[in-house]
Amino acid sequence: MSVDESQIVKKMVSEIADSNEKFMSKSQDLENFKRIVPVLLEKGIDNVNLSMFDENTKSKLLNALGEEYIRRGNMNDSVKAFILAGNRQRLVEVGEHYDEVGLFSNAIDTYRLADANEQLLKIGKKCLENGHFADAIKAFRLCNDVENLTRVGDECFQKDKWDYAIEIFSAINHSGKLVEIGDKCLKERQIGYAAKAYELAHDKEKLSALGDVCLREGLLATALKSYQQAGNDMMVTFIRENFGNKLSSY
């Protein structure tokens, strides 16, 4: 689901939930629609058309359909049904199910659709404690928790998980941390990561210095790119004039 689609779905949930909240979780209402559910199941949630019903009826039908999908173990389609019904509570409960069985990414996606920041924060902390850095980053970014993102970034930095650390500190625009990562990577001769960190930090001095290191070590392509990003036109010209035959692809 794209970012635009995600925003549309969340808006839909919000609008429908406001008008249908009083109809949620009424088992008697769900019983009344069970005779229609088999038809909806055969049609499929992606193809069903309920436009002929009023909002109240549509909500009840979609909730009944969502419950039947859960009973059959089809969690993905249950989520779609509850989204259309605006049933935030059941979305959260489906997310909790995913969490319990260790499907953290699915849980986070479901909490996102339910706009459940409290649950996102909770699962983010859980993922961090258990070393699931990608999921922790995903959860904290969704609830815009800069403090916990920084915690994840620092832990990734200490564990030399450069991709995650760079992703986090770039997302929160922490150029100081990016430079720190770049310096450590350069010291450990992780040239590619150093270049990426300095580039995202927009530190021209560090990029130019990296170009010097790469030039000395014969890494001409990386040196050229670093000088270009640093705006060091003199060294760009130097490399092109003296090593142009080795850089035909640049």
Instruction: Quick: pLDDT tens for 157-211.
Output: 999 999 999 999 999 999 999 999 999 999 999 999 999 999 999 999 999 999 9
Alpha-carbon Rg of the chain, whole angstroms?
26
Q: What is the pLDDT of residue 40?
A: 83
Q: Which amino acid is at 150?
A: T
Apex CA 184: angle with CA 136 and CA 179, to 5°?
Answer: 75
- The torsion angles phi and psi of 52, rounded to 5 degrees, stand at -80, -10
What's the pTM?
A: 0.74
How far apart (Å, rounded) are the C-alpha atoms in residues 29 and 101? 30
The model's confidence at residue 109, banded by pLDDT at 50, 70 and 90, is very high
Alpha carbon of residue 25 to chain centroid = 30
Q: What is the pLDDT of residue 32?
A: 59
Place of tokens 């001095």: 205
How far apart (Å, rounded) are the C-alpha atoms in residues 188 and 248? 29
Q: What is the pLDDT of residue 26?
A: 46
How far apart (Å, rounded) are the C-alpha atoms in residues 47 and 84? 13
How far apart (Å, rounded) are the C-alpha atoms in residues 13 and 181? 41
User: Long-range contact list for 95-100, CB < 8 A, 24+ apart?
Assistant: 95/119, 99/123, 99/126
How far apart (Å, rounded) are the C-alpha atoms in residues 37 and 247? 65
Between 52 and 238, name the one with better pLDDT.
Answer: 238
- CA dist 162 → 46, 142, 226 (Å): 40, 21, 19
pLDDT tens for each residue of 135-164 = 999 999 999 999 999 999 999 999 999 999
Is residue 16 within 8 Å of residue 84, measured between CB atoms?
yes
How far apart (Å, rounded) are the C-alpha atoms in residues 132 and 129? 8
How far apart (Å, rounded) are the C-alpha atoms in residues 152 and 127? 10
Task: Return the structure tokens found at 106.
Answer: 């699915």
Mean pLDDT score, 13-35: 51
How far apart (Å, rounded) are the C-alpha atoms in residues 195 and 50? 54
Q: What is the pLDDT of residue 3?
A: 46
Is residue 36 within 8 Å of residue 62, measured between CB atoms?
no
DSSP state of 244: G
How far apart (Å, rounded) are the C-alpha atoms in residues 50 and 57? 9
